[in-house]
Structure 1
Amino acid sequence: MAGSVSFMVCLNEEYLYLLLRYIESNPIKASLSNKIGEYPYTLSSALFGNSEMIPCAKGSIMIHDFSPQTLIEFLETELSEEELDALNEEQKRKISVKNEDIKVARSKTLNEHFHAVISKQDRNCAIISAFKDGHTQSSIAKHLNLSAGLICGIIKSED
């Protein structure tokens, strides 16, 4: 193997769009430019006609999913603290790729999610946390010896 390859796996569209805004705003944060599209080595620079489009960028979802005006407004929207926190949390997720099969590793086992539960409220919070961590409703129900319907109701109550 000549060298290692680094890549990111993006498993949901919301994260992808946050990531695009984050990447396109980096030259401003690094004081390399004053506005989106000004720095020549970004996709937005090519989209706005400030630099040449590199071949791999021609298939970008930004080109296909947005009108130029919508794209400008989208990219110029500053990321909120909540969005930055969401980016950081998503980047912490452990992902394994084997034979093109992508699996999200859970951050905690079910035992770890429920070890400190002392009340019904704690249990319900732990159920929601375990579900967000990638555990299925049925595996949580089985672990707690509760009905899948009850687990579903607790998770739905979070929305």
Structure 2
Amino acid sequence: MPRRSACALVALSFVQLFSSVAFAQIADAISVASLSGLKAFYVSIGDLNAEVRQAGLTAAQLRTDIELKFREAGIGIIPQPAWIDTIGGAELYVEANALKHGGGQYSYCIQISVIQKASLSTKPTHETLATTWSSSVMGVVGSTSAATKIRGEVGAETDRFVGGYLSANPPVGKRE
């Protein structure tokens, strides 16, 4: 009996693992599809906490890095007051925070979200703001390389976004 229970537990674990992976793939496909038709973004950097600033990272650096990647990919950039009233406009919101530990290490968390106008299926005439795509990463890094690592991780998450965006909005010459 204990062997059967162990086998059943292992089988249940595999079912749960594969269903979680399948759900994540479906959710990712839905969130990438939500990028279709978007033309331009306001790049918004949340307030960097004191630890991130002390590590030597600024919001201006992150915004410049992201906007450069957008320009290289052909993704439009719009100013803050215009995005909400622009058809095909959205906000790319970036949050990067860190916590300094004894021993000279930082724990960091980075979240990138796309916020856009959306209509409720239960009330199609009602518009609200919704996060339709997001990605996050957490890690630990030594204090001497904290700013470089966090900046690099923001870049990697931005690359992930750009890849999703381009798959939902292929360049005109590459559409099937």
- Fold agreement, TM-score > 0.5: no
Whose helix proportion is higher, 1 or 2?
A: 1
Q: Which has the higher strand share?
A: 2
Pick 1 or 2: higher relative contact order, CA cutoff 8 A, min separation 6.
2
TM-score under structure 2 length normalisation: 0.21
User: What's the TM-score, normalizing by structure 1?
Assistant: 0.22
